């Protein structure tokens, strides 16, 4: 099978979608399929352009130009990269799925869409997004062969505009093997958060919660690992200084996987105060390392975190965050280790080795249906 994976951004740009495309592409390649990734030339975090053709970690990557905004980049030259593929797999709801659905009479390839949270990650233009979703996106997805939701939350959202016969649930995979061998040497009080420094991550509320917890737990400290694409770090550092915890909050910026593994090996807890997550990749990675999560009820979190067993589910306000952190930080080392081991076991069910089976089943069904339609057309 020849599959083209289409995504707005790819490595060296980092993020949940990029990691998902990489993980799925490797798993498909390992299963004997031909995979190519098509993405934009411009790397949004740096503004630089990457080569038109390259091989990254054993995967072939083609890059195309675009115009317009980062949120909805216009790149019609994607049609030139359909080639002799059997199927087009688009990641996220953006120009690519709209355009490829509209131009299906030209490329004549079935389209599979992975939702990755849609475009509801923030409240920005929420009314316009809702209207667009119910009209343009609804029409677009009528001509998509399969819509794959990466979480139960996505399934609930997309079930309002997509017929059940083409709607699927395949929890996003993670490269759990990269973290499963992490040996924990916990630094008491160390809280680790991972992800882009963006408004939906709730880092401001987390800082206020750290200030509250520090009143009774003097060794608490927060380290946040992730790129600052919107230039918010200085503002958050100032917030920490005003809250009296400037010396207890640190931002690392973008880190390599090896550095992330080292950070998680020392983490007392993983923390996420996100108001929205399309999935929750970083949480699963942290759980894979045996790190107990304290996280809000968004994305995949309610399905993998059982309070008091594999972590702690909390509300996103400062008081709930602080209360949850206090309880978790009081755990005896032995209890913490047992919970960490249970978190590892749960996260193992989210590996790409498992997830790829679901995608291959969907691909096979889509191609079989397409072949059946062709035979019927020829018969008539």
pLDDT digits (tens, 9 = 90+) for 211-224: 999 999 999 999 99
The third-level CATH classification (topology) of the domain covering 2-173+351-379 is Rossmann fold (3.40.50)
Q: Where are the domains of the chain?
A: 2-173+351-379, 177-350
Strand partners, 158: none
- For 92-241, strand residue ranges (E) read 111-114, 146-149, 167-169, 190-194, 221-225
Q: What's the rounded Cα separation, in Å, for the pair 340 and 38?
A: 38
Residue 269, token pair as written in the block = 């807890």
| pTM of the predicted protein model | 0.82
Q: What's the rounded Cα separation, in Å, for the pair 119 and 46?
A: 22
Residue 380 pLDDT grade (very low, low, confident, very high; cuts 50, 70, 90): very low
pLDDT higher than threshold 50 for residue 28: yes
Query: Is 159:169 a contact under the CB 8 Å cutoff?
Result: no
Q: Which of 100-114, 289-303, 326-340, 343-357 has the lowest mean pLDDT?
A: 343-357
Decide whether 2-173+351-379 matches 177-350 in CATH topology: yes
Q: What's the rounded Cα separation, in Å, for the pair 184 and 201?
A: 25
Residue recorded with tokens 């401001």:
204
pLDDT higher than threshold 70 for residue 124: no
Measured in whole angstroms, the distance separating CA 120 from the mean position of its chain's CA atoms is: 13
> Rounded mean pLDDT of the chain?
92
CATH of domain 177-350: 3.40.50.2000
């Amino acid at each position: 099978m020849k599959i083209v994976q289409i995504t707005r951004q790819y490595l060296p740009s980092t993020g949940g979608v990029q990691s998902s495309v990489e993980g799925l592409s490797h798993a498909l390649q390992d299963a004997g399929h031909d995979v190519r990734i098509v993405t934009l030339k411009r790397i949004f975090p740096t503004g630089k352009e990457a080569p038109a053709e390259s091989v990254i970690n054993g995967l072939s990557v083609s890059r195309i130009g675009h115009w317009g905004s980062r949120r909805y980049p216009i790149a019609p030259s994607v049609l030139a990269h359909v080639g002799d593929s059997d199927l087009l797999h688009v990641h996220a709801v953006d120009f690519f799925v709209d355009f490829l659905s509209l131009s299906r009479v030209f490329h004549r390839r079935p389209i599979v869409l992975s939702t990755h949270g849609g475009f509801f990650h923030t409240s920005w233009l929420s009314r316009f997004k809702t209207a667009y979703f119910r009209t343009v996106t609804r029409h677009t997805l009528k001509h998509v062969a399969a819509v794959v939701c990466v979480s139960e939350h996505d399934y609930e959202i997309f079930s309002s505009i997509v017929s059940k016969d083409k709607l699927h649930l395949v929890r996003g995979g993670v490269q759990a093997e990269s973290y499963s061998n992490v040996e924990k040497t916990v630094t008491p009080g160390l809280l680790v958060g991972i992800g882009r420094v963006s408004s939906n991550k709730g880092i401001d509320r987390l800082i206020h919660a750290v200030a509250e917890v520090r009143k009774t737990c003097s060794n608490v400290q927060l380290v946040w690992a992730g790129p600052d694409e919107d230039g918010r770090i200085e503002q958050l550092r100032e917030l920490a200084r005003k809250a009296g915890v400037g010396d207890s909050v640190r931002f690392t910026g973008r880190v390599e996987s090896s550095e992330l593994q080292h950070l998680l090996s020392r983490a007392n807890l993983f923390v996420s105060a996100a108001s929205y997550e399309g999935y929750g990749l970083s949480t699963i990675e942290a759980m894979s390392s045996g790190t107990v999560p304290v996280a809000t009820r968004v994305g995949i979190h309610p399905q993998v975190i059982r309070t008091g067993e594999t972590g702690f589910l909390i509300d996103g306000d400062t008081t709930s965050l602080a209360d949850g952190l206090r309880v978790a930080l009081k755990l005896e080392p032995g209890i913490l280790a047992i919970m960490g081991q249970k978190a590892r076991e749960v996260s193992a069910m989210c590996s790409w080795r498992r997830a790829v089976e679901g995608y291959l089943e969907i691909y096979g069904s889509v191609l079989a249906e397409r072949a059946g339609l062709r035979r019927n057309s020829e018969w008539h």
